[in-house]
Each structure stands twice: as structure tokens, then as C-alpha cells.
Amino acid sequence: MDWLPHITVATIVEDNGRFLMVEETKHGRTVLNQPAGHLDPDETLIEAAVRETLEETGWDVEPTGVVGIYLYTAPSNGVTYQRVCFNAKPLKHHPDYQLDDGIVGAKWLTRDELLAQRANWRSELIIRCIDDYLDGNHFGLELIRPSL
């Protein structure tokens, strides 16, 4: 049996207690997620986090740290994802930016507002990453080493 984990990135962007979230359509329903996506060929993890955040929210961000590295197997399809979650500061919003297909829009939500919408989460990683961020898990970007 071939086991092919998917490398993904996610970004925690906070502004005054609100978190930048993405509403996206997945399997016919609208779900919430952090700005997140797959690593592209010839791209660094940091570049992927910046790109995915822009493509899904219209926001330019500056990564400032690493919140954590997570292994998650989706119960819906059995696929294993390795997620590298960054924290970043918002820099500039491009309200007319053409968001990726399947993206309904971006919204800023508090942790409590997210908890009230638990049935709409794409995965439990949403709250785990936010809670790790709120608990002070911020590791330096030097944790991410360039390829040789």
C-alpha cells in the first residue's frame, strides 16, 4: 500500500482578537478553515503560506513565526496531511483580488464565534492551531530550513 502524505500550510492571522478565516465550498457545503493549502513544486513553506493566504483571502501577510507542525488523517477520506501552521501579521487587503475557485470569502471571527460554528469547521485543526497560538506557541521562522 502506498502512503503519500500531503504537505500543507496554514496561516493564523490575528487582529485584535479576531482571526482571518476562509469560507470555502467542500463537498457541497460551506466550511470554515484558516487560509491553507498545498505546497507547490519549487516553493518554500513560507512562500506557500503567503501565497495561499493571498489567494484565499485577498490579504498580503508577513509570516512572523511557526505555531506548530501537525499530522492529521482526515476521517472523510483517510488522507494524511502534514500541516505547517504559521502565524502572520496582516499587511494589506486587496478587496478586488480574484479569490481561488471554491472560496466563498474571507471573514474575521473571534474564537468564541468560531466555537459557535463548530459544525462548519473543515477540521478540528482549526481550533487546535488557534489554541496553540493563543497559548504562546510561536517558534522562530529559522525553524524552517531551506533545502540544500
Are 61 and 90 a contacting pair, CB within 8 Å?
yes
The pLDDT of residue 1 is 59
Q: Mind listing the domains of the chain with CATH numbers?
A: 6-141 (3.90.79.10)
Nearby residues of 14 by Cβ (< 8 Å), 6 or more positions away: 20, 87, 133
Q: Shortest CA distance to 89 belongs to which of 9, 20, 8?
A: 20
Q: pLDDT band for 77, please (50, 70, 90 cuts).
A: confident
Q: Shortest CA distance to 16 belongs to which of 116, 115, 93, 89?
A: 89
The C-alpha atoms of residue 92 and residue 104 are separated, in whole angstroms, by 20
The pLDDT of residue 116 is 97
Q: Shortest CA distance to 100 belongs to which of 42, 39, 47, 36?
A: 36
pLDDT at 84 over 80: yes
pLDDT at 148 over 70: no
- Residues 126-145 have a mean pLDDT of 94
The pLDDT of residue 78 is 84
Beta strands 29-33; 18-26: pairing state: antiparallel
pLDDT tens by residue, 19-52: 999 999 988 899 999 999 999 998 999 999 999 9
Q: Shortest CA distance to 106 belongs to which of 51, 33, 47?
A: 33
Helices (H) and strands (E) in the chain, counts: 3, 7
